């Protein structure tokens, strides 16, 4: 599915063989590129803004309340999550010796920073329009991430980022496919989600490359992947459940 870079679920050796470049020593003894992002992919932050106020007041995706709630719920998790990803990757910036990977880290942080800003605005506008309590929606996730920052070793936080970036890239590929449900979205919302998805595809390997470059092990990555899968499901289900609950009580009041 992720066709341009190694699948992060594969063993390190196999991924190394496929990329042919990652952290391998050359015949002259120099360290080769630490990046698996293809040479023709630019990780370029695009400072876009989106006029989505009117769309967020209604069922903007396929005129369907559940699908709209599912994507709105996802958006709720993004600002805190993307801040966590930026911090986790940036922590290792000074340990990276490959200038190309350094450049990719800059691109990654720039892109996630713009996503964070746009989804923060999205979430505030959504909650204002629909009477949701944003603190309540994102409070548990924020606490969980703060706990991870304080209590987990930085390499583990980077492994969490690698795991979640994998899922975001899978979702991004689905959103950009020709038969994606996003074709049925209100145009301004489609533009926002596709902009985000395209940049997620561009930087999908950066956290993984940094994790490998600083010596992150496959054992840790796989163990964290298992736990992250559980918690991603939990956080998305929580946001979706809360939004659906409010939606149902709104409908009952009308």
Residues in contact with Fe ion by CB under 5 A are: 112, 115, 200
Read off the tokens for 49. 């803004």
- Give min distance, CB of 211 to Fe ion, in A: 14
Q: Are 139 and 158 in contact (CB under 8 A)?
A: no
Nearest approach, Cβ of 195 to Fe ion (angstroms)?
10
DSSP track, 133-196: -HHHHHHHHHHHHHHHHHHS-HHHHHHHHHHHHHHHHHHHHHHHSTT-GGGGB-HHHHHHHHHH
Nearest-CB residue for Fe ion = 115
Q: Which is nearer to Fe ion, 167 or 242 (CB)?
A: 167
Computed on alpha carbons and rounded to an integer, the radius of gyration of the chain in Å comes to 19
Q: How far apart are CA 220 and CA 175, in angstroms?
A: 30
Residue 210 beta carbon to Fe ion: minimum distance, rounded to whole angstroms: 13
Hey, CA dihedral for 91, 93, 96, 100, is it positive or negative?
Answer: positive
- Between 200 and 235, CB nearer to Fe ion: 200
Nearer to Fe ion by Cβ, of 32 and 170: the residue is 170
- Closest to Fe ion by CB, 73 vs 247, is 73
Q: Closest separation between CB of residue 209 and Fe ion, Å?
A: 13
């Amino acid at each position: 599915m992720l066709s341009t870079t190694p699948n992060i679920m594969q063993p390190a050796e196999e991924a190394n063989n496929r990329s042919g470049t990652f952290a391998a020593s050359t015949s002259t003894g120099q360290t080769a590129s630490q990046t698996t992002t293809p040479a023709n992919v630019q990780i370029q932050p695009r400072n876009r803004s989106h006029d989505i106020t009117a769309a967020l007041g209604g069922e903007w995706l396929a005129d369907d309340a559940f699908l709209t709630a599912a994507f709105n719920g996802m958006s709720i998790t993004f600002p805190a999550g993307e801040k966590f990803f930026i911090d986790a990757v940036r922590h290792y910036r000074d340990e990276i010796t490959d200038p190309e990977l350094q450049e990719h880290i800059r691109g990654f942080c720039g892109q996630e920073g713009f996503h964070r800003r746009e989804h923060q605005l999205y979430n505030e506008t959504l909650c204002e329009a629909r009477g949701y309590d944003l603190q309540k929606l994102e409070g548990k996730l924020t606490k969980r991430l703060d706990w991870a920052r304080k209590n987990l070793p930085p390499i583990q936080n980077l492994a969490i980022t690698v795991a979640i970036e994998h899922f975001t890239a899978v979702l991004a590929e689905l959103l950009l496919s020709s038969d994606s449900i996003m074709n049925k979205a209100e145009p301004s919302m489609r533009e926002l989600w596709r902009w985000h998805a395209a940049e997620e595809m561009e930087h999908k390997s950066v956290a993984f490359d940094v994790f490998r470059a600083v010596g992150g092990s496959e054992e840790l990555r796989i163990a964290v992947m298992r736990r992250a899968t559980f918690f991603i499901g939990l956080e998305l289900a929580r946001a979706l459940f809360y939004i659906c609950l409010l939606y149902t009580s709104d409908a009952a009041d009308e």
